[in-house]
Amino acid sequence: MLTRKQNDLLRFIHTRLAADGVSPSFEEMKEALDLKSKSGVHRLINALEERAFIRRLPNRARALEILRMPETGSPALRKTESAPRSDIRPASLLVAANDAIAIPLHGRIAAGMPVEALESDRMLSVPAALLGPGDHYALEVSGDSMIEAGIFDGDYALVKRCDTARDGEIVVALIDDSEATLKYLRHEGNMIRLDPANSAYQPQRYSPQQVRVQGKLAGLLRRYH
């Protein structure tokens, strides 16, 4: 069952597409739903995707497809008597997702502080197409311990907030509730091994009680000067 805002957004998108075949922008969706920021739109779109009302199109990162409407559960692409136009192609109900959204920028990943302690009102503008479903935040990378994974000093790590991860995933790990680091996660017997992506550094081993996953890498943003 959809919330009122989720339902309102789905109907707004469908109405706009039916009226003129052009998807509303994130800014238009924000204004239509009277939201304070485009990140709220992003969260609603994620929720609709998780509930299978829309989906991200494969090989088309900047578009979403409406799959169904809540009244009948049937595909939204079906022509109805209430549709203002009859010349809309069934496969063309796409939502442009090329807008930028703002996510929290917590600080530098090697600053020696827990992620919670880095909470602030700073935000980072990120292309919506770089993020999938879920709650995200950004950290500025400090140091060269992950350069062989293509992660360099000054990059912005886009992190999906979670508390579990599989072996081989790059995670934000909080060690002893005092130091946050970006590393590959591995399980090694009864220990947790955090692997750098730089042959000049050695893996770090900790007991499971010492390590707390605070997210996993979802994307990377780099600015060229």
Q: Report, as residue numbers or ranges, the catalytic residues.
A: 145, 183
Which tokens hold the place of 28? 């238009």
Q: Cα angle vertex 165, ends 191, 194, to 5°? A: 40
Q: How far apart are the first and last CA of the chain?
A: 47
Spatial contact of 45 and 12, defined as CB atoms under 8 Å apart: no
Q: Judge contact between 213 and 172, C-beta under 8 A.
A: yes
Which residue carries 């090694």 as its tokens? 188
| Type of residue numbered 156 | Y
The token pair at 208 is: 């499971």
Nearest Cα to 184, choosing from 202, 172, 200?
A: 172
